[in-house]
Amino acid sequence: MTGPNPRDSVEIDAKTLAHPDDLKALVRCVELCRDIGNSAALQPFVKREVMPGHVTGAALEQFIRDSAATYWHEACTAKMGRDAMSVVNSHLKMYGIDHLRIADGSIMSRATTGNTMAPCIVIGERAGELLRAEHNL
């Protein structure tokens, strides 16, 4: 949250490529993919490199910066618990902000070993139970 108003925007910084080694690793990954794609075994199946194309150095780094994104389900960013790192209590209420509940995968303290959909459904169902009980619905 960027402010106390419910309409204030939310700021999410995933710290993508925050460490210089991240960019170095991704440059090497692109180079490895090129090596595999240009190997003799794949030559009969390859016409040309589509993306990023024939770029190197700073241009390749810029391509990586522009296209780096996660395709995983984000979770564990608003941990439920009682320790100093927790922001949500067991009733899904956010510490320090009245009338705000969080009911999604962000409250999980650890990522699940499987898809996050099932735990998110359970969290949502539990949120509904808590709201019904609190408001006598």
- Residue 99 known to be catalytic: no
Phi, psi of 101 (to 5 degrees): -115, 150
Catalytic residue among 19, 54, 73, 91: 73
SS3 3: coil
Cα angle: 22, vertex 27, 31; to 5 degrees: 145
The helices-and-strands tally (H runs, E runs) of the chain is: 3, 0
Which residues are within 8 A (CB) of 34 and not within 5 positions of it... i.e. 6 or more apart?
49
Alpha carbon 76 to its chain's center: 9
Query: Which residues are identified as catalytic?
Result: 73
